[in-house]
C-alpha cells in the first residue's frame, strides 16, 4: 500500500508506507492553544495532513470550514 485516498467534502484520509519516497513526506508537530491559529491562511502545492491529539481544530479548505475532533 503506497498511498490511498478516501475523500469526503474536500477532506481526505491518507495512508502512507515505505513506498512513498522520504523527500515527498514531511511530518512536524504543532501545538496550538485554545482559539489560536497555527499560522495565517495559506496555500501550497501538495497534501497537508493533520492528526488532532486533543481537543478540536477548525480547518479551512477554500470557502468551507471543517471542525475536526481528536483522533
Sign of CA dihedral 45, 47, 52, 58: positive
H/E element, 52: none
Phi and psi angles of residue 14, each rounded to the nearest 5 degrees, phi first: -120, 135
Q: What tens digit of pLDDT does each residue of 6-63 get?
A: 555 656 666 777 777 777 777 778 888 888 888 888 887 766 777 888 999 888 888 8
Q: What pLDDT is stored for residue 1 in this prediction? A: 43
Residue with C-alpha cell 508506507? 17
pTM (whole model) above 0.75: no
pLDDT for the residue 63:
87
**Residues 62/71, Cβ–Cβ less than 8 Å:** no
Amino acid at each position: 500500500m503506497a498511498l490511498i485516498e478516501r475523500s469526503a467534502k474536500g477532506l481526505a484520509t491518507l495512508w502512507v508506507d515505505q513506498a512513498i519516497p522520504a523527500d515527498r513526506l514531511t511530518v512536524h508537530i504543532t501545538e496550538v492553544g485554545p482559539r489560536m491559529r497555527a499560522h495565517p491562511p495559506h496555500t501550497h502545492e501538495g497534501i497537508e495532513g493533520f492528526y488532532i491529539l486533543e481537543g478540536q481544530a477548525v480547518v479551512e479548505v477554500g470557502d468551507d470550514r471543517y471542525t475536526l475532533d481528536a483522533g
